[in-house]
Amino acid sequence: MKPSSKFSAWPALGRGVLVLGALASWSGPAAQAQNIDEGKSATQLYAATCAACHRNPGALAKGRFRPVLFTFLHDHYTTSAAEAWSLASYLASVDAPARSRTGKKTSKRLPAQSN
């Protein structure tokens, strides 16, 4: 007995529905990304993201202006502008004082007093 054309399409239709169902379950609700650094202070941000490689926050800014630090940090290390500005402000505030060109600290000597 030969199956009618009406019933021969069911197996192909069933496979198609199965494939569509699998694709629909795959594309389910997307997971929302979380910012694990949100709400941290600048000191905490430095400790969590920078301190492993840069032990001294005072030497990290190297005399750069806050907008320069902000741009660099925002492009490479932080997830938001607020975090980048906060971290740039912190680094600029603890920036090590510049040394003289010879690398020695300069000190003022008092002239010797003669009697």
| 84 found inside a domain | yes
Could you tell me if residue 48 is inside a domain?
A: no
Longest dimension (CA), the chain: 134
Nearest-angstrom CA–CA distance, 91 and 112? 41
Helix (H, G, I), strand (E, B) or coil at 65: coil
Domain membership of residue 28 (yes or no) is no
pLDDT top residue among 89 and 103: 89
| Residue pLDDT, tens place only, 15-71 | 777 777 777 776 666 667 777 777 888 888 888 888 888 888 888 888 888 999 999
Q: Is residue 92 in some structural domain?
A: yes
Does 4 reside within a domain?
no
Has residue 30 been placed in a domain?
no
Computed on alpha carbons and rounded to an integer, the radius of gyration of the chain in Å comes to: 32
- Residue range of the domain that includes 87: 57-97
Distance CA(49)–CA(4), nearest Å, equals 69
* Virtual torsion, Cα 59, 83, 49, 97, nearest 10 deg: 10
Ramachandran region, residue 26 (left: φ > 0; alpha: ψ -120 to 50; beta: rest)? alpha
Tell me whether residue 80 is in a domain.
yes
Q: How many domains does the chain have?
A: 1
Cβ count within 10 A of residue 33: 7
Rounded to two decimals, what is the model's pTM? 0.54
